[in-house]
Amino acid sequence: MNDILKTIYNLHSTHGNFTDKLISNADLQTILQASVRAANAGNAQNYAIIVCRDAAIMKEVCGCQASVMLVYCVDVQRNMDLARHLGLSYTVDPAWVLMTGVTDAALAAQTAVVAARSLGIDSLISNGVQCGDVSRFWKLLDLPASNVYPVLGVYLGYADQQPARSTGRLFEPGVIHRRRYQHRDGPALDAIINATDAPAFSAPAFAKWQESGHAHYLEMFFKGPGGRAGTMYGGIAPALAKAGIVITKGEKT
């Protein structure tokens, strides 16, 4: 296995246990330069990265603190400003902005995490920016009134202890489909449930699902964050509407 693959396989989330050790400006610059090398739609880079070392702001954003926080935002305002400055226009479809903007921002965030890990720096990618009153970020981060909205917070620092193992991931069956989408029957679903019940799979927050009286790991998940997904992000739609993207309907299975 080469060094790049080793770095990827050694990725893990650090849940609030960062030390006080600071990331050097040189390492931070290296991470940022790697982050913007991520693939993006049309090389338009319709995202912004807000770099913050202010502990109070970090706490307000996602409830965590680290050496540095990077907030990845969808940003089409920059290209609109550039076009206007040239006497031109930059017109975008809101659905396109939502799809490609979030994708571009997420790719840049993941690239930053991989670069950080290669330097021995730990990370936490948080979607906490999507919880609670999302509108607070416009004031907190001085975001433009429209055409910009936060997607992810990336906390970087040095963990005070390394996890005993990395959280498991579904592979096959589950997320890998050969040639065409594989519609899952009962036995296939049972195979996925068995895979997620394995001790190596459980996320730290759900590691004691059996002690909690659940028959399966997924029971704890669906009764927890999986069951709250329809309500815990209730502030996103109004915030997106202000940014120019209107979400009209949610779906519940």
**pLDDT tens figures, 159-178:** 887 665 566 777 777 787 88
Q: Could you read off the pLDDT of 48-65 as tens digits, one per residue?
A: 999 999 988 888 877 788
The confidence score (pLDDT) of residue 247 equals 63
Whether the Cβ atoms of residue 68 and residue 50 lie closer than 8 Å to each other = no
For 148, the token pair is 């910009």
Q: How many residues does the chain have?
A: 253
The confidence score (pLDDT) of residue 51 equals 95
The confidence score (pLDDT) of residue 250 equals 46
The confidence score (pLDDT) of residue 251 equals 43
> CA-based Rg of the chain, rounded to a whole angstrom?
20
Q: Is the peptide bond before 163 cis (omega within 30 degrees of 0)?
A: no
pTM: 0.84
Q: Tell me the domain boundaries of the chain.
A: 3-163+231-242
Amino acid letter for position 184: R
**Assigned architecture for domain 3-163+231-242:** 3-Layer(aba) Sandwich (3.40)
Sign of CA dihedral 176, 179, 181, 186: negative
The confidence score (pLDDT) of residue 253 equals 41
The confidence score (pLDDT) of residue 112 equals 96
The residues of the chain scoring below 50 in pLDDT are: 250-253
Q: In what order do the strands lie in the sheet with 148-157?
A: 47-52, 68-75, 148-157, 122-126
The confidence score (pLDDT) of residue 248 equals 60
